[in-house]
């Protein structure tokens, strides 16, 4: 797994070993950032269920102002911190040891881009989708990575499902406010 483009381009990132983390494939990551390319510069990015932190790091590499990394695994948090340091983003990264549901329930921060990729088929994605709209800035977007057999609602808060992108067995669902 590597940083695709931007200031940290080509850096190889560490990933947790085992079945607990399922990193987003580089091809899917590249597609996601193509979809949201005009939303990244100067944004506040939330990498929920961060795992290795690769999505938030990619956002920082492409010009995000700040990225939050949320995970409740000590092993993942240590890897996220090492990856952030490797890329030189310590001043732009905020790492929180928390489960995403608790974080979303209590945060007052507003995010421009939210990436949700929890463990599949656990109900965590649906729970996060219920809470996340209050944490997204106007004109922001919510991106969900999930298996094709996991159904998501057509809307959440003021956000409507804009489009689903299929990559084999994986779906990327993008939510925006209706006028975006």
Q: Residue 21: its pLDDT value, please?
A: 65
Rounded CA separation 175/161 (Å): 4
What is the C-alpha to C-alpha distance for residues 154 and 132, in angstroms, rounded to an integer? 15
Q: What pLDDT score was predicted for residue 179?
A: 73
Q: Please tell me the distance from the alpha carbon of residue 56 to that of residue 45, in angstroms, as a whole number.
A: 7
Residue 66: pLDDT band (50, 70, 90) is very high
Domain positions in the chain are 40-147+156-176
pLDDT in tens, 99-113: 999 999 999 999 999
The pLDDT mean for the chain works out to 92
- What's this model's pTM, rounded to 2 decimal places? 0.94
CATH for 40-147+156-176, options being 3.40.50.150, 3.20.20.70, 3.40.50.2000, 3.10.20.30? 3.40.50.150
CA distance 72 to 50: 9
Q: What is the pLDDT of residue 20?
A: 61
Model confidence pLDDT, tens digit, residues 125-143: 999 999 999 999 988 999 9
Q: Residue 164 and residue 106: Cα distance in Å, rounded?
A: 29
Terminal CA-CA length for the chain: 32
Contacts 24+ apart (CB under 8 A), 149-153: 150/120, 150/121, 150/125, 152/125, 152/126, 153/126, 153/129
Read off the pLDDT of residues 6-43 as tens digits, 9 standing for 90 and up.
889 889 998 877 656 667 878 899 999 999 998 999 99
Rg, the chain, Cα only: 15
């Amino acid at each position: 797994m590597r940083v695709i483009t931007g200031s940290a381009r080509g850096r190889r990132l560490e990933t947790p070993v085992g079945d607990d983390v399922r990193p987003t494939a580089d091809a899917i990551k590249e597609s996601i950032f193509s979809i949201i390319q005009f939303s990244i510069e100067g944004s506040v990015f939330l990498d929920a269920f961060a795992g290795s932190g690769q999505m938030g790091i990619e956002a920082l590499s492409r010009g995000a102002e700040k990225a939050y990394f949320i995970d409740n695994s000590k092993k993942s948090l240590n890897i996220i911190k090492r990856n952030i340091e490797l890329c030189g983003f310590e001043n732009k990264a905020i790492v929180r040891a928390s489960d995403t549901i608790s974080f979303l329930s209590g945060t007052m921060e507003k995010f421009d881009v939210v990436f949700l990729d929890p463990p599949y088929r656990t109900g965590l994605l649906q729970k996060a989708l219920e809470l996340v709209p209050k944490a997204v800035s106007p004109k922001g977007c919510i991106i969900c990575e999930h298996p094709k057999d996991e159904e998501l609602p057509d809307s959440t808060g003021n956000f409507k499902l804009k489009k689903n992108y299929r990559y084999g067995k994986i779906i990327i669902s993008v939510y925006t406010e209706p006028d975006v």
